[in-house]
């Protein structure tokens, strides 16, 4: 096999893998009821990497400013079907818990977030911060699937990672677990 043939085979394989990933992400069976999985035990949690980004309106947002609060860091995009599906649930959870020390930060993975995200936010009634990754955001670069979300406890540790659509009942149950722990864990 010559170099040109090998290169074509590698490109074809990469394209095939990409198509398979898209099909898998968009057909996960997220309509089916699933068992609610509890958050990780306190001793098994690791610190969430620093998150410092600007919102689509240009305001600075950092995870460190929210220590003592429960934060859902949600990686998503306007073009992502599963992301659009989970957004109403996230909006309802935010409305229910925002007065109880809980917030959500949505990190847009769109190509031009400052252009497309405000219209999306208006359409879905999103009031939580919507952030734009900078050029040096290693955390954003490590996201392989969207939506992907990290539920961060009051001490800044990852209590749970969600890959795929989050359902309101599961997220609310996990938030209640973390609220019951309080700040002293």
Whether 38 shows a pLDDT value over 60: the answer reads yes
Express each pLDDT in 94-153 by its tens digit. Answer: 999 999 999 999 999 999 999 999 999 999 999 999 999 876 566 666 788 999 999 999
pLDDT band at 36 (very low <50, low <70, confident <90, very high): confident
**43-68 pLDDT per residue, tens:** 899 999 989 999 998 999 999 999 99
pTM of this prediction exceeds 0.85: no
Q: 36 near 140, Cβ under 8 Å?
A: no
pLDDT for residue 6: 42
Residue ranges per structural domain of the chain? 1-31, 33-181
Q: Are 53 and 134 in contact (CB under 8 A)?
A: yes
Q: Token match 């917030």: residue?
A: 103
**Contact by Cβ (8 Å): 110, 80:** no
More confident: 13 or 50: 50
Percent of the chain with pLDDT over 90: 65
Beta strands in the chain (DSSP E): 46-47, 52-55, 60-62, 70-76, 102-108, 130-132, 148-152, 157-163
**Residue 171 clears pLDDT 60, i.e. is over it:** yes
Residue 155 pLDDT more than 60?
A: yes
pLDDT at site 13: 42
The whole-angstrom separation of Cα 148 and Cα 74 is: 6
CA-to-CA dists, residue 71 to 1, 12, 34, 74, 112, angstroms: 52, 40, 23, 9, 25
CATH homologous superfamily for the domain 33-181:
Glutaredoxin (3.40.30.10)
The pLDDT of 159-166, averaged and rounded, is 95
Average pLDDT for residues 154-181, to the nearest whole number?
96
Query: Cβ(64)–Cβ(125) under 8 Å?
Result: no
């Amino acid at each position: 096999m010559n170099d040109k043939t090998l290169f074509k085979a590698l490109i074809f394989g990469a394209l095939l893998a990409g198509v398979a990933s898209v099909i898998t992400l968009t057909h996960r069976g997220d309509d089916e009821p699933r068992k609610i999985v509890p958050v990780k035990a306190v001793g098994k949690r690791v610190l969430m990497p620093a998150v410092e980004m600007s919102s689509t309106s240009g305001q600075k947002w950092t995870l460190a400013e929210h220590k003592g609060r429960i934060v859902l860091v949600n990686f998503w995009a306007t073009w992502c079907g599963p992301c659009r599906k989970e957004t109403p649930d996230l909006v309802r959870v935010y409305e229910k818990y925002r007065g109880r020390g809980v917030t959500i930060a949505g990190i847009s993975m769109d190509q031009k977030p400052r252009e497309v995200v405000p219209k999306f936010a208006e359409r879905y009634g999103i009031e939580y911060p919507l952030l734009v990754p900078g050029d040096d955001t290693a955390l954003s670069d490590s996201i392989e699937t969207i939506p992907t979300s990290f539920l961060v406890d009051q001490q800044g540790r990852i209590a749970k990672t969600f890959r795929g659509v989050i359902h309101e009942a599961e997220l609310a149950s996990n938030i209640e677990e973390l609220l019951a722990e309080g700040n002293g864990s």
